[in-house]
Amino acid sequence: MERFPLKQPTHQPGCQILAGKSNQVWGHALGGVVEVKVNEKAESVVLPCKTTAGLKENTVVEWIRSDPDFRIVHVFSNTSERNTKQDGLYRGRTEMNADLLRSGDLSLTLKFPTERDNGSYICTVYRDEDILSLVFLYFSTSNDGLCSHSSPREGGIRIRVCPAALLVSILRVSGC
């Protein structure tokens, strides 16, 4: 799973990032936590991920759910292998903006969200072997928040967004 070199920042970490079971890599959460509250009967929810506009054609955007189990949620690529590895749980329920390379808006729309969608989500943007951007999200219907500790309103689904400075391929995030 490890595609990219792991680097330990020189600053004090804000999050502990676990890449696999034995490798510990430290990262730091930037800025505040953004919360999006969604009624459990909502038709869709947007998982936000934005980067600089004007991305090159060979850019790949990969959305994964890393916890409680690893699933490929959506892959955008200009190649023929586009989204062929998508997990069946998400087939027909995800879409991205048509002009995402030009706009830099890499947000993912997840249709008909349910409790089965709970977990940690990662949006990775890369070109060749270089990661350009990485965003961690926590999607939950409970109050066991990864990045904040507030319970959702009655019958609601909550998404917590925790942008990260560390650019690695991640399997699990804990301790924000």
Spell out the domains of the chain, with CATH numbers in brackets: 29-171 (2.60.40.10)
What would you measure as the largest C-alpha separation in the chain, in angstroms? 44
pLDDT tens digits, one per residue of 79-103: 755 678 899 999 999 999 989 989 9
Distances in whole angstroms, Cα of residue 119 to Cα of each of 5, 55, 77, 94, 122: 25, 28, 24, 16, 10
Q: Against a cut of 0.75, is the pTM above it?
A: no
Q: Name, in order, each residue with C-beta under 8 angstroms of 140's C-beta and a sequence gap of 6 or more.
A: 118, 119, 146, 152, 157, 158, 159, 160
Strand-strand pairing, 59-67 and 119-127: antiparallel
CB 138 within 8 A of CB 116: no
With cut-offs at 50, 70 and 90, classify the pLDDT of residue 176: very low
Q: How far apart are CA 105 and CA 61, in angstroms?
A: 11
Q: What is the pLDDT of residue 82?
A: 65
Give 21's contacts (C-beta < 8 A, 6+ positions apart). Answer: none
| Mean pLDDT of the residues in the chain | 63
CB 140 within 8 A of CB 156: no
Helices (H) and strands (E) in the chain, counts: 1, 12
**Please, are residues 101 and 132 in contact by the beta-carbon 8 Å criterion?**
no
Which of 154, 130, 134 lies closest to 142 in space, CA to CA?
A: 154
- State mean pLDDT over 32-52: 69
* 14 confidence band (pLDDT: 50, 70, 90): very low
